[in-house]
Structure 1
Amino acid sequence: MSPQSEPTTAARDLRVLVLAGGLSYERDVSLKSGRRVLDALRSAGVEAELRDADITLLPALRADPPDAVVIALHGATGEDGSLRGVLDLCGVPYVGCDARAARLAWDKPSAKAVLQEAGIPTPDWVALPHDRFSELGAVAVLDRIVERLGLPLMVKPAQGGSGLGAAVVREAAELSAAMVGCFAYDSTALVERYVTGMDVAVSVVDRGDGPESLPAVEIVPRNGVYDYAARYTAGLTTWHAPARLDDEVADRVAATAVAAHRALGLRDVSRVDLIVDPQGQPHVLEVNVSPGMTETSLLPLAVEAAGLDLGRLLATLVDRAAARP
């Protein structure tokens, strides 16, 4: 395992740009993440600057390119691969996976198909575009979904994060409203079988010796659903880091998270969200390539539980990114 006591000399000599903000529904969260990343890097002795992803970005990259970029953007801009593709065009290295892998992870149905093919457990699902939902007849489609997947169900946007547009459906009569709420955030709804169990998040980092899992963080929302309010409102969720799992199950969860990270072709850092059922079997729900960094975010909790320093970890990732061809 790579030493984490101090950032490398190279990292201290780098000029790093932290990108945050953007125009997605998650702009406010992104700005909080960006400020946290900025402070952490500076505490590790790295020269860093915070910038919004707006029309001034490309001229600035061309006029004075940074040595590396840390993407603290959430939602489509930071996670769908488009910004990473632009950074590639500009020849600017960045922390995190490349554009292709980001596109794959961002589209939950596609990512779940890859995980399933790799033998990684993920809840059974159906992806339904709004147009097909209307053309085929909403009532008939909903009836078939319930017949096929059973109840309860989880409905969420096929592309999106922070729990926006997500809802748990426990009665068939609730499914129509959940679909309407989901379509407000995305044109395609992902409906998957709801798995009862412990909600955990595992952050995966690569400090130079391959991807490794940090301690799992257990999530206990007060209302039972880890939605947007539960994620970012103080007092609505309790976290346990490390999660209250026995050693054998904890090892299984960690191995599953790393396997998901590898299967999707990710690098540097990711966060894998899972449910651990009562039999101790982990099920991957989704994988985030731009994990939150706010005061209630899960990756910083995992870093602390691992006995690491967030700034030094980020400095190591920046150093690795800047060294890539």
Structure 2
Amino acid sequence: MAATGPTLYLVYEPEGACFDRLVSEGFSARAAAEVSSYLAQSTDLAPEFELIAGASAQRGIAFQAVELDEAAAVLGAANRNNSLVWTLTDGIAYFRGGVSPALARLNGLATIGADDSLFALCQDKFRAGAVLAALGLPVPVSGLARGGTWLAEPPASASGYFVKPNRLGAKIGIWEDSHCRQASDALALAERVFEAYRDDVVVQPYVPGRNVRASFLALDPEAGPGALGIFFVDSGGDFQTMADSLALYGDTGAAAKAGGRYAEPALVSVDSIQPVAAQRIRQVAARLMSALGLRDVYSLDFRVEPDDTVHLIEFEVCPGLPCFDFRAYCRREWRLGLAEAMAETAARRLLR
């Protein structure tokens, strides 16, 4: 039955559904488990759906969590005058969440977040990098390889290269040797990625510095880049690998918590150490919001050097809401837990 009052619909793709589909398409069970782990935020948030519903009810709106395979029917029956669609998990290749904002648009429903064109763009790192460079933003120049063949060669680099899948989630690297020295090593990594995941790789000159995550939620619909939470993310390594990700989220992360082995990376305010770099990051965010159309909720990944040079690595229109860094951002910026922040964000739009 379709909801009648103001309603927030949260559309998500479950890990299990993705795993089963990938196995049916011929992926190994190991690769399917690794790939579907990128959807761990849907697993991690599901136990809090009742909290979100309660926080929403307190603010005069209803909440409905919708599995992606049910989204076409549910959104097709939604009232276009008082419905709001929030897409939790994106994807255009291994994952299918990018269809959710398109379904919302098809049915004339308002959405939280960027439009569906950006859902597609951010999931293709090579194309996204080209667009960001055209906007004059500080992104590394990328090469593109498929298997052992260059589709676009990267520039020469004295610092070596960084290799990452082009469309697989948002991770900076897969293996510990994702930072390699020679272009030939990058091609060898490209072959490994293609064999395991059937994906092209982006090959960029390695950029030094510390990892920074900038998180944004426009709890106030008029919020701008000043509402960014900008933090160094210090995990003890130079970059996050697939193994690091598995240890933090989903079933593996839950098992680590239960066994007392879970350790979150440290979050340190960039403003407190490098305020010039923090201001440059806000300028990048302002440019992305005005020229590219980022809005409502997103995250940006940077590398920041000691001299305040910033390198934009990528942007995400579906940041990991239940992840430690976004929860910390909601507490510090908005003084709310995640469920309350989501409900307040939706209510301020639905009840305006």
- Residues 204-252 of structure 1, C-alpha deviation per residue, up to 9 Å, x if partnerless? 3332225324221211123332123323525455221424533222222
So what's the TM-score if we normalise by structure 1? 0.79
CA–CA separation in structure 1 for the residues paired with 2:314 and 2:96: 13
Corresponding residue of 2:42: 30
Q: Residues 260 and 181 of structure 1: is their aligned pair in 2 closer, same or farther, counting only changes over 3 Å?
A: farther
So what's the TM-score if we normalise by structure 2? 0.74
**Which of 150, 173, 181 pairs up with 2:192?**
181
Q: Which has the higher contact order (CA 8 A, sep 6+)?
A: 1
What's the Cα RMSD here?
3.1
Q: SS where residue 319 of structure 2 aligns? A: coil
Is 1:211 the counterpart of 2:245? The answer is no
Aligned AA (1:154): F
**Which of 83, 108, 123 pairs up with 1:106?**
123
Corresponding residue of 1:192: 204
**How does 1:226-241 map onto structure 2 within 5 Å?**
226-234=240-248, 235=262, 237-241=264-268
Q: Residues 210 and 232 of structure 1: is their aligned pair in 2 closer, same or farther, counting only changes over 3 Å?
A: same
Alpha-carbon offset, residue 165 of structure 1 = 6.1
Q: SS where residue 301 of structure 1 aligns? A: helix
**Which of 271, 292, 303 pairs up with 1:264?**
292
Structure 1 unaligned residues grouped into runs of 5+: 1-12
**Which of 157, 164, 169 pairs up with 1:161?**
169
Corresponding residue of 2:234: 220
CA–CA separation in structure 2 for the residues paired with 1:275 and 1:32: 27
Alpha-carbon offset, residue 174 of structure 1 = 4.1
The answer as to whether partners of 1:162 and 1:231 remain within 8 angstroms in 2 is no
Is 1:303 the counterpart of 2:311? The answer is no
The answer as to whether partners of 1:164 and 1:185 remain within 8 angstroms in 2 is no
Q: SS where residue 216 of structure 1 aligns? A: strand
Q: Residues 90 and 181 of structure 1: is their aligned pair in 2 closer, same or farther, counting only changes over 3 Å?
A: farther
Stretch moving more, 82-91 or 313-322 = 313-322
Corresponding residue of 1:50: 65
Structure 2 unaligned residues grouped into runs of 5+: 19-34, 249-261
Alpha-carbon offset, residue 287 of structure 1 = 0.2
**How does 1:280-295 map onto structure 2 within 5 Å?**
280-295=308-323
CA–CA separation in structure 1 for the residues paired with 2:46 and 2:317: 15
Q: SS where residue 94 of structure 1 aligns? A: strand
Aligned AA (2:216): V
Aligned AA (2:10): V
Alpha-carbon offset, residue 74 of structure 1 = 4.0
Alpha-carbon offset, residue 79 of structure 1 = 7.8
CA–CA separation in structure 1 for the residues paired with 2:9 and 2:76: 13
Is 1:14 the counterpart of 2:42? The answer is no
Alpha-carbon offset, residue 38 of structure 1 = 5.9
Q: Residues 31 and 258 of structure 1: is their aligned pair in 2 closer, same or farther, counting only changes over 3 Å?
A: farther
Q: Residues 51 and 82 of structure 1: is their aligned pair in 2 closer, same or farther, counting only changes over 3 Å?
A: closer
Alpha-carbon offset, residue 152 of structure 1 = 2.6
CA–CA separation in structure 2 for the residues paired with 1:80 and 1:105: 13
Is 1:274 the counterpart of 2:302? The answer is yes
Stretch moving more, 269-278 or 24-33 = 24-33
Alpha-carbon offset, residue 106 of structure 1 = 2.3
- Residues 12-49 of structure 1, C-alpha deviation per residue, up to 9 Å, x if partnerless? x6222212224262233323245546634533534212
Q: Percent sequence identity over matched residues?
A: 20
- Residues 266-325 of structure 1, C-alpha deviation per residue, up to 9 Å, x if partnerless? 2211101001012111110000000002243x222222222431344323432465479x
Is 1:170 the counterpart of 2:180? The answer is yes
